[in-house]
Structure 1
Amino acid sequence: MAKRIVGLPEDFDLNIAEESVRDEPVRIGDFLDDFPVAARPAAPRPGRRDPPPRGGDEPRSTGPAALPARVDEPPGEKEPPRAPQQRKVKPRRDPTQKAKEVAAPKKPPRKQINMTPETLDMVDDLLRYIQMYSRQSDTKASEMFHAIVLAAFQAKKHLDLSDVPRRGQWGSTTAKNFPVALSQAFTRAIAHAFREKRELDQ
């Protein structure tokens, strides 16, 4: 069996000139040099700009600047200036005020009665009598009037007004006697209603 020789063979030679080794290092080619590379376009070089003109080179105007020609509008076509429109703002209603209006009860209707001084004295005397001799010492005038009207209303079907004369003019004798005649008619009607009720109860 032949013996294997280790190392470079005896006839191996780099074949490098001594001048190239002495002057500069050897340049060994790269494997990329074997493939062609597409040529890239050269970048454009910036063009040369002309310097701006100096201040002394610009032409100077000796006269005033020309104003633009004014165009007059024909009469009657000019629109008058409009006044700025004010937007109407509706005031907001307070919700608490609305709730108070809804919650507030309606007042009962009232009727005013005009009395003469004589009639007013009789009302006061009658009210004091009721307060003194009844079990309710704080009876009010409205309650007394309610009772009188209730008694007259219940006897309405027995009320005969045929004997009551006309009032006539104010200040006349018939005008003064009109309340008296009317009270007598109410008295007869209430008495008739009382007798009828007593007969029904027996």
Structure 2
Amino acid sequence: RFLTEDIVDGGSEVPDSSYYAAEFARAGMDFLSLSRGGRFEDAKQPNVGEAAYPYTGRSGYECMPAYISDERGPFGRNVEPGAAIRKAVREAGFETPVIVTGGIHGFEKGERILQEGKADIVGIARQALADPDFFLKVRAGCGSEVRVCEYTNYCEGLDQKHKQVTCKLWDRKELDEPGVKRTLDGKRRTTAPAWAGPAA
């Protein structure tokens, strides 16, 4: 995995990453996974005794955009840079699969990216945390049952504080369910409630 753009002064931009991608492909990499931003160089100064966290500056926002956003919105900000890099790899004569990530939370958006040839594989992270059964539900034709990520970055906030990462959409639901594993403080469940499967 590498970045389409560093989003910091003096950092790599799409032309640089296109060159890297072609060279990685030439070297025989099995796939190229593209993220964006999330650098330490522009991270906020941490409090004394705390570690620097790479998602607190502008580059961090580009890596993990939230629902409070600019006019572009938080979704798919890495798609076009990724598409440009994939194009460069193809023009260099390689068919190495390119994975794009970043604010892709819906089946329709992911499918459109693939159909338009902007990526070969679509990666999701926060949406997979919001609903670990996302793929099963979509495959079963139960898309309306998908628990959709709200991009509040609640999970990222927990990570920043070095706490067990969970999702606010499910971590306090059905806490009395038999066998539920809880976080160390006992206040949250560590896994989402199990999906019962498609209705008969």
TM-score (norm 1): 0.17
Structure with greater contact order relative to length (CA < 8 Å, sep ≥ 6): 2
Larger Rg: 1
TM-score for the superposition, normalised by structure 2? 0.18
